[in-house]
Amino acid sequence: MVLCEMDPVCGASVARITSSRWLLSSLMVVEKVDGPEAKPPGAIAHWQDGDGIFCLRNRSTDDSELAAGDSKADGIHEAGISAAVWRLGQNTIVKVHSWIEDVEMEAEKIPFAAEKAPEVPVPDVLYAWVDHDLNRSFLIMKRVEGEILEKALPKLSPLQRAQIANDVAQFCVNLAVNISTRL
């Protein structure tokens, strides 16, 4: 198996250009706009988040000034060179993973899991694509309500930690049972 190139690393795949504009991959731009009438022409996807509307569009030749930006701004998590997560707005995140041909993407698994096991909480997928030049998959989705476990864990009692572990295990069991019985 040939591994994909990681230059630059996934953690450099999203960069905030201004307080309301992000460069995602070599292909896309996300902009926060003031209202639906301000939606830029050529928007591929748009969604409401907090007090604004966000629009995803293809990067154009007019975006040459977007070459530099802050890839650390809005970062939530970086997993070595192969994955990273950023926040866009209050309730939207973008996940970037290294990508290899013929490997299913997370964006394809989420709706499948929601259909097969509706009791398991999953995020709403807003848009997903592959940047073949960078060997990356991009996934824009609504954030699932709750606190990030890494931040909550130090505040939890052993009983609460055990309950979370049991809940997650039960979700896994439900998903496995529902998928095997519904195939």
Q: Which candidate, 104, 103, 124, places its Cα nearest to that of 114? A: 124
Angle between helices 106-116 and 158-182 (to 10 degrees): 80
Residue 130 and residue 137 in contact, taking contact as beta carbons nearer than 8 Å? yes
Output the pLDDT for position 4: 47
Task: Specify the DSSP class assigned to residue 7.
Answer: S
Contacts of 48 (CB under 8 A, 6+ apart): 54
Residue-wise DSSP of 85-147: EEEETTTEEEEEEE--TTPPPHHHHHHHHHHH-TTS--PPEEEEEEETTTTEEEEEEEPPSS-
Which string of b and e fits 16-45 if b means at least 16 CB within 10 Å?
Answer: bbeeeebbbbebbbbbbbeeeeebeeebee
Output the pLDDT for position 156: 95
pTM: 0.81
User: In which residue are the tokens 């966000």 written?
Assistant: 54
What is the full per-residue pLDDT of the chain (183 aa) written as tens digits? Answer: 444 445 678 888 888 888 888 988 878 999 998 765 666 678 899 898 887 899 999 887 666 555 567 778 888 888 878 888 999 988 999 999 988 888 888 888 898 888 877 877 889 999 999 998 888 999 999 988 888 888 899 999 999 999 999 988 988 888 888 777 655
Distance CA 135, CA 31 (A): 24
Task: Specify the DSSP class assigned to residue 4.
Answer: P
Annotated domain spans of the chain: 10-145, 147-183
Give 138: exposed, middle or buried? Use CB within 10 Å, 0-12, 13-18, 19+.
Answer: buried
Residue 47 and residue 86 in contact, taking contact as beta carbons nearer than 8 Å? no
Instruction: Find how far residue 41's CA is from the centre of its chain.
Output: 24
